[in-house]
Amino acid sequence: MYLKRLEMLGFKSFASRTVLEFSSGITAVVGPNGAGKSNVADSMRWVLGEQSMRQLRGKKSEDIIFAGGYGKSSLGMAEVSLTLDNCTGWVSSPYSEICITRRTFRSGENEYLINKQKVRLKDVLLLLAQARIGHDSYTVVGQGLIDAALSLRAEERRGLFEDAAGIRPFQVQRADAENRLRHAVPLNSGSSLASYRKSCSHGMLCNGGVCTQLKNVLSMLNRNKYKRYGGWSNPCKLLKCKLTHYV
């Protein structure tokens, strides 16, 4: 899988629709200062689901929409489409190309599409997790990120290896399940999901203890049954011997 196409419309300095075609291998985007090279990287990060405006070098969501200039009026929306080549079947999908689109409006509304079909943000994140890419992974390496990676804490370093191991889809599904559980389970005002999970774990341990006790009781009953059988079997054998003797 590789990045095949990037389309930008109204994103930062790209007022008109701009299409960048990429081939497999290494591609370099060059240009003078102010040409928009950093905006290209920002558009990739944004379409991959980035929610932090600080990471996009902005303060509010409107900052990524073309504000006007160079004789052009401001626009009401920004749109970025990123097309991935999936001929190798890297992502479990019937399509040989996967196009992810994100739109934002000045009202703050966002839209997400996969191959021109409207989806939710978590659908996009799950798809990207299956492809082992995403805004919070090392797909886009910005300035200073290499130095930051060298000074990661233990848990952050573990996240790096988890991304490489491909377990991110399961983490996304777990987070989604916990979110649904948080809304489905009636919790007390002072409780939390963590305490609920702890109580569930404690309940499972208690159930396990009850099962162990029942097994012990069953084993004792079986032993008693065999003892009673042995106690009755000896007199029966003696009576059979006597009857045989008299006959």
Q: pLDDT digits over 23-37, tens only? A: 888 888 898 988 889
Domains in the chain, number: 2
pLDDT band at residue 99 under the 50/70/90 scheme: very high
The answer to whether position 132 is within a domain reads yes
Q: In this structure, are 68 and 131 located in the same domain?
A: yes
Residues 6 and 40 sit within 8 Å (Cβ to Cβ):
yes
Q: In this structure, are 113 and 60 located in the same domain?
A: yes
pLDDT of residue 161: 75
Average pLDDT on 41-46 reads 91
Q: In this structure, are 109 and 231 located in the same domain?
A: no
Question: Measured on CA atoms in the order 187, 188, 189, 190, is the torsion positive or negative?
Answer: negative
Q: Are strands 18-21 and 117-119 parallel, antiparallel or unpaired?
A: unpaired
Q: In this structure, are 142 and 194 located in the same domain?
A: no
Sort 116 into a burial class: Cβ within 10 Å, 0-12 / 13-18 / 19+: exposed
Q: In this structure, are 199 and 140 located in the same domain?
A: no
Which of 87, 114, 147 is the last residue in one of the domains? 147
The answer to whether position 178 is within a domain reads no
Q: In this structure, are 220 and 137 located in the same domain?
A: no
- Given a cut of 50, whether residue 74 has pLDDT beyond it is yes
Cα–Cα distance measured from residue 13 to residue 17, given in angstroms and rounded to the nearest whole number:
11
The answer to whether position 15 is within a domain reads yes
Residues 101 and 47 sit within 8 Å (Cβ to Cβ):
yes
pLDDT of residue 140: 76
pLDDT band at residue 234 under the 50/70/90 scheme: low
Average pLDDT on 156-172 reads 73
Which of 84, 116, 147 is the last residue in one of the domains? 147
Provide the CATH number for the domain around residue 94: 3.40.50.300
Please give the model's pTM, rounded to 2 decimal places: 0.61
The answer to whether position 162 is within a domain reads no
Cα–Cα distance measured from residue 103 to residue 77, given in angstroms and rounded to the nearest whole number:
7
* Host domain of residue 200: 190-247
pLDDT band at residue 134 under the 50/70/90 scheme: low
pLDDT of residue 189: 46
Residues 29 and 84 sit within 8 Å (Cβ to Cβ):
no
Q: Give me the chain's average pLDDT, please.
A: 79
Scored b (16 or more CB within 10 A) or e, 166-179 reads eebbeebeeeeeee
Give the residue, 216 or 136, on which the prediction is more confident. 216
Residues 75 and 62 sit within 8 Å (Cβ to Cβ):
no
The answer to whether position 200 is within a domain reads yes
Q: In this structure, are 202 and 139 located in the same domain?
A: no
Q: In this structure, are 246 and 124 located in the same domain?
A: no
Cα–Cα distance measured from residue 60 to residue 102, given in angstroms and rounded to the nearest whole number:
17
Q: In this structure, are 227 and 124 located in the same domain?
A: no
